[in-house]
Amino acid sequence: MKHLDSKAVEILDTPLNKLSYVVFDLETTGTNPEEGDKIVEIGAVKIAPGFRIQPPKFHTLVNPEIEIPESSTKIHGITNEKVSDAPDICIALYNFIDFAKDSIIVAHDARKDFAFLKSEMKDYSITNPFRFVLDTLKLSRIMNPTAGRHNLDNITEMYNIKIKGPYQRHRALYDAEATSVFFRILMKRIFRETCFTFVDLENLLNNR
């Protein structure tokens, strides 16, 4: 195991229901930050100890300072015009970090979204403040082994999750809210049936 600071050790020893989590989602210009794709929207929902959704939510459009391809706009509906007056990624990233600080961050297919965050933090020489990242895709595969697919559309249908609001599927805040509802359901079950502390959950994930 990599070297852990005292705060990370404290988190590992903490019961799951005593921790804070931030469920986030990104919309982007494409799928590969290593090839220059950029973030165009960030949405996030905070879950307080006791697995309670805690307002306010976080949302911002981001000016990627490159053209958004039409193929991407067809998915999320975000146009170059919509982001023309939005903050740049440096401002948006610092605002997100401030919102999510001292929390465990969570995303669906977290490897993909966190790769974008890491790429942007590297570009601005920002030290990664997030000690742990949870992936609801992996959690779903463990806890729902008989489910055919684990994408967000299938999960919202499986759990009958309905999100009310101004946004729709493939917008960052909508997807973050849908993921947060699913995450709360799953974590309550995991805490009740399987894992007591965060280190228990880490062991469960690492052994699958």
pLDDT tens, N- to C-terminus, the chain (208 residues): 457 889 999 999 999 999 999 999 999 999 999 999 999 999 999 999 999 999 999 999 999 999 999 999 999 999 999 999 999 999 999 999 999 999 999 999 999 999 999 999 999 999 999 999 999 999 999 999 998 899 999 999 999 999 988 889 999 999 999 999 999 999 999 999 999 999 999 999 998 7
Confidence at residue 165, expressed as pLDDT on a 0 to 100 scale? 80
DSSP string covering 163-203, please? --SS--TTSHHHHHHHHHHHHHHHHHHHHHHT-SBHHHHHH
Say how far residue 198 (Cα) sits from the centre of its chain: 18
Cβ neighbours of residue 164 closer than 8 Å, sequence gap 6 or more: none
Give the residue among 5, 69, 58, 65 at the shortest CA–CA distance from 31: 69
Domain ranges of the chain: 19-207
Tell me the CA end-to-end span of the chain in Å, nearest whole number.
16
Task: Could you please state the CATH topology (level 3) that the domain comprising 19-207 is classified under.
Answer: Nucleotidyltransferase; domain 5 (3.30.420)
Q: Virtual CA dihedral for 98, 94, 105, 133, nearest 10 degrees?
A: -130
CA angle 136, 196, 153 (to 5 degrees): 15
- Whether 71 and 51 have beta carbons less than 8 Å apart is answered as no
140-167 burial by CB neighbour count: b if 16+ within 10 A, else e?
A: beebeeeeeebebeebbeeeebebeeeb
Q: How far apart are CA 56 and CA 162, in angstroms?
A: 19
pLDDT the model gives residue 2 = 57
Cis peptide before 56 (omega within 30 of 0): yes
Helix (H) or strand (E) holding 94: helix 89-100
- The crossing angle, in degrees rounded to 10, of helices 110-123 and 136-143 is 160
Helix, strand, coil shares of the chain, percent, nearest 5, are: 45, 20, 35
